[in-house]
């Protein structure tokens, strides 16, 4: 696992003169997390303590130091099941508690077309770029960029495979965290390119079998807890994976690793095995 002192140069550059200050701030954040998120040491969905210290807290420090007057757009991209939503929630919580920076967290899933519209267009499954509402994505991002308040954001409910009630945001977010397997493609379709839309883009690198197992486990929980009334059955999930998720991961997810700012290698149990910059990428 990458030592925290090795990830700081990845983030700030080899010549960054203030490493000791960063380490001291990280130690303060560790205490804050221990006091405010005690479940993080009890096997919850919050990233483990080791990964917090080595990777997550340094990234949070980087984002905090680079947040200015305009909203900072932070992307977390990776295959379904790689832990994007867990990481996004943790980063947003620590940015708020540790630095007083309010975030809005959105998933690419939130921008799916309504179920009725997907049916009308003949989409057998959600997941393809075309099954997303690009106009809604563009409008929402522009509202955030413009500092509009209040504004509405969509929310997707996987239990009903459709949009749920929208959420009203009544504050000016300093940071917009976009997580999801399709955020790279959505940004490209809406704005023409991934960069410079994202101020910082993190790619979660996970093996296909690992992603498949994690995604199947998540769907099984939804299906079991609802008594079979929500989510996909095991056979439906197998078809969803083979007909939508797997081909779209290969075509619209993995290629964006090379344009990310940082790659986090996700291993067994969602523990991080390392951090690296894409081959040939400039210092971030």
pLDDT in tens, 135-150: 999 999 999 999 999 9
Can you tell me the distance from the alpha carbon of 142 to that of 105, in angstroms, rounded to the nearest whole number? 15
Per-residue pLDDT averaged across 83-109, rounded? 96
pLDDT, position 36: 86
pLDDT, position 18: 82
Per-residue pLDDT averaged across 44-54, rounded? 81
| pTM of the complete model | 0.90
pLDDT, position 40: 43
Q: What Rg value do the Cα atoms of the chain yield, rounded?
A: 19
Q: Give the ranges where the chain is alpha helix by DSSP (H).
A: 4-12, 19-36, 49-51, 57-65, 84-99, 115-120, 134-145, 183-191, 208-225, 234-240, 246-252
Can you tell me the distance from the alpha carbon of 212 to that of 270, in angstroms, rounded to the nearest whole number? 13
Largest CA distance in the chain: 58
pLDDT-wise least confident of 30-44, 175-189, 192-206, 240-254 = 30-44
Pairing of strands 72-77, 200-205: parallel
pLDDT, position 266: 94
In percent, the amount of the chain with pLDDT more than 70 equals 93
Can you tell me the distance from the alpha carbon of 130 to that of 127, in angstroms, rounded to the nearest whole number? 8
Of the pLDDT bands very low, low, confident and very high (cuts 50, 70, 90), residue 42 is very low
| Residue carrying the six token digits 């420090």 | 61
Cβ distance 75 to 180 under 8 Å?
no
pLDDT, position 44: 53
pLDDT, position 214: 87
pLDDT, position 82: 93
pLDDT-wise least confident of 69-73, 159-163, 280-284 = 280-284
* pLDDT tens profile 194-214: 989 999 999 999 998 998 988
Residue 281 has pLDDT above 90, yes or no: no
Q: Which domains does the chain have, with CATH numbers?
A: 70-276 (3.40.50.300)
Q: For the chain, what is the mean pLDDT?
A: 90
């Amino acid at each position: 696992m990458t030592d925290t002192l090795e990830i700081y140069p990845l983030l700030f550059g080899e010549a960054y003169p203030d490493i000791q200050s960063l380490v001291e701030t990280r130690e303060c954040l560790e205490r804050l997390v221990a006091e405010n998120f005690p479940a993080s040491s009890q096997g919850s969905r919050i990233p483990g303590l080791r990964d917090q210290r080595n990777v997550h807290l340094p990234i949070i420090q980087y984002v905090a130091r680079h947040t200015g007057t305009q909203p900072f757009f932070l992307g977390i991209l990776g295959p379904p099941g790689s832990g994007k939503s867990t990481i996004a929630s943790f980063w947003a919580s620590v940015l708020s508690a540790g630095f007083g920076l309010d975030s809005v967290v959105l998933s690419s899933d939130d921008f799916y077309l309504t179920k009725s519209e997907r049916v009308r267009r003949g989409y057998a499954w959600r997941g393809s770029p075309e099954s997303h509402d690009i106009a809604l994505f563009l409008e929402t991002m522009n509202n955030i960029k413009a500092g509009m308040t209040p504004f509405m954001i969509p929310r997707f409910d996987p239990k009903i495979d459709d949009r749920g009630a929208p959420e009203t945001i009544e504050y000016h977010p300093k940071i917009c965290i976009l997580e999801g397997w399709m955020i790279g493609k959505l940004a490209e379709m809406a704005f023409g390119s991934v960069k410079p839309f994202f101020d910082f883009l993190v790619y979660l690198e996970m093996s296909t079998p690992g992603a498949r197992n994690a995604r199947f486990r998540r769907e099984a929980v939804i299906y079991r807890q609802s008594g079979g009334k929500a989510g996909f059955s095991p056979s439906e999930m197998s078809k969803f994976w083979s007909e939508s998720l797997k081909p779209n991961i290969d075509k619209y997810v993995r290629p964006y690793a090379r344009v990310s700012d940082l790659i986090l290698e996700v291993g067994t149990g969602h523990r991080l095995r390392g951090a690296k910059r894409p081959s040939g990428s400039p210092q971030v």
